[in-house]
Amino acid sequence: MKTIVKKAISIFIIAVCVIAALLFAAHNPPFWFLFGISTGLLIFGLFLLRATIKSELKVATKQNSTKFTSDNTLCEAAPKIQKLIVSFNGDVADEYLEQLNNIKLNYYLPFADSSKFLIEKYGMKKYADLMIPFALSERLLNRSISAAIDNNLDESYQALKNCYGHLKDVIKIEDIFNKRTG
């Protein structure tokens, strides 16, 4: 049965059972037997709705995890950042800022959004070990972008160099995890 149909049925069961429970409990004298049945069906409807939402999330997680491959994403970002560091000449051009923003949008954000995939792949402890240097690297990338926008070139360059160092740490940690789990 499709999840949308299951969701509609469970919401219908919940609504009908709430109304029935109210009517049976409000009657004088109360119909406790019918109230109990409607309450039981209400609980069944809630569990059905919960199971339906859980299966939707599972499908969505699988679809997102097939789009994302953490093994390549940050490894591809590292040479681009290194190229920006090497080619930095003290002028902030629109192209420089555009490249920083592209690195953030195409490599950092997908990695940050892949938490469920990474937790399933490595476990919570290793995920935390991986995300600490990643968060530092992402923060420094944002700092580099912000400083470049403010035309503070020295700060932008230093933040980008530090960002690259933390990014290499993330890649090393992930390589170690992949060798252990691989």
Tell whether 83 and 153 lie within a shared domain: yes
Tell whether 86 and 126 lie within a shared domain: yes
Instruction: Check residue 30 and report its DSSP letter.
Output: -
- For residue 26, the enclosing domain spans 3-66
Tell whether 45 and 135 lie within a shared domain: no
End residue of a domain, out of 51, 66, 81: 66
Q: pTM of this prediction?
A: 0.60
Tell whether 101 and 30 lie within a shared domain: no
End residue of a domain, out of 12, 43, 66: 66
CA nearest 107: which of 163, 181, 148?
A: 163
What would the pLDDT profile of 25-62 be if each residue is shown by its tens digit? Answer: 887 788 888 889 989 999 998 999 888 888 877 776 66
Q: Which tokens hold the place of 111?
A: 């990695």
What would the pLDDT profile of 133-176 be if each residue is shown by its tens digit? Answer: 999 999 999 999 998 888 888 888 899 999 999 999 988 888 88
- CA dist 36 and 32 (Å) reads 6
Label each residue of 38-86 as H, E or C.
HHHHHHHHHHHHHHHHHHHHHHHHHHHHHHCCHHHHHHHHHHHHHHHHH
The answer to whether the Cα torsion of 79, 82, 88, 93 is positive or negative is: positive
